[in-house]
Amino acid sequence: MAVIHRTTLKPTKLELLTSWLPSRPWYRAGTTAPQLAKAGGFRLDDPQGEVGIEFMVVTDTSSPHPTAYLVPLTYRGAPLDGAEQAFVGTMEHGVLGRRWAYDGCQDPVMAAQLAALIEGRVQAQDQNSSDVPDREVTASLTGEGPIPSDFAAAVDDRNGTRLTTPHGTTLHLHRVLEPAPDGPFSPSRAVTGRVTGTWQTPDGTRAKGVFAVLHTGLPA
């Protein structure tokens, strides 16, 4: 179980993301500097207790039409070998010292725990409290058998981020979030799982939408 420390971060997470987000292909405001606010999210626990895993939702009000982004981050006590492309920045944590922040989609620990969440083997945790489940995060899976864990390097495009296994199973993370209507999950031949969550919009209302979708490989 991860412990949430009430302490300082220098720079803050939002300060790191302000400089990092415009470099992403799914960032919608072009070269405009983001104006970010924390809008929601949840955490997952690393079974080894070494890596912090946080799915942040931030809203950007730099354009006339505010945008909500899903930003999974991992926090480590040392650099992650071979993950230079995923590096977001370093922070000085008031309790834990220097922390290396990475785009979680390119961290194998986060990918494995997200798959475990969809399978129902782990539970989403509150973003701001220790040992408190987040009941607003739901995960659904149809079919049998475990989700393959041999995900290749993440691929970003304007539509989000894809993590794919050699057998064709793909986790697609929606980086730009859109409110979705309530209703039961209706899987298709290819879409067999998803994760949904909530966030706060700039006008103070709560929105709910799909964070991630699992696609299984189709037979030839």
Sort 158 into a burial class: Cβ within 10 Å, 0-12 / 13-18 / 19+: exposed
What is the layout of strands, in order, in the sheet containing 160-164? 138-141, 191-200, 206-215, 170-173, 160-164, 155-157
Confidence bin at 219 (pLDDT 50/70/90): very low
The answer to whether position 135 is within a domain reads yes
pLDDT digits 0-9 by tens, 157-184: 999 999 998 888 899 999 999 998 665 5
- On whether the CB atoms of residues 179 and 211 are closer than 8 A, the answer is no
In a domain, 112, yes or no: yes
Would you say residue 64 lies in a domain? yes
CA-to-CA distance for 201 and 68, rounded, in angstroms?
Answer: 8
Residue 139: give the domain boundaries. 9-215
Q: Tell me the whole-structure pTM to 2 decimals.
A: 0.91
Cα–Cα distance measured from residue 149 to residue 11, given in angstroms and rounded to the nearest whole number: 33
Distance of CA 8 to the CA centre of its chain: 22
| Amino acid (one-letter) located at 173 | L
* Domain-embedded: residue 4: no
Q: Flag whether 3 is in a domain.
A: no
Residue 13, pLDDT above cutoff 50: yes
When divided into structural domains, the chain yields a total of 1
Average the pLDDT over 209-218 and give the result: 85
- Residue 71's H or E segment, with its range, is strand 67-76
Closest CA to 153 of 114, 211, 105: 105
* Average pLDDT, integer, range 84-93: 93
Which has the minimum average pLDDT: 70-84, 115-129, 133-147, 199-213? 133-147
Cα radius of gyration (the chain): 17
How many CA within 13 A on the CB side of residue 17? 20
What DSSP string describes 73-126? EEEESSPPTT-GGGEEEEEEETTTEEEEEEEGGG-HHHHHHHHHHHHTSS--B-
For 109-158, what is each residue's pLDDT tens digit? 999 999 999 999 999 999 988 889 999 999 999 876 688 878 888 999 99
Please report whether residue 220 resides in a domain: no
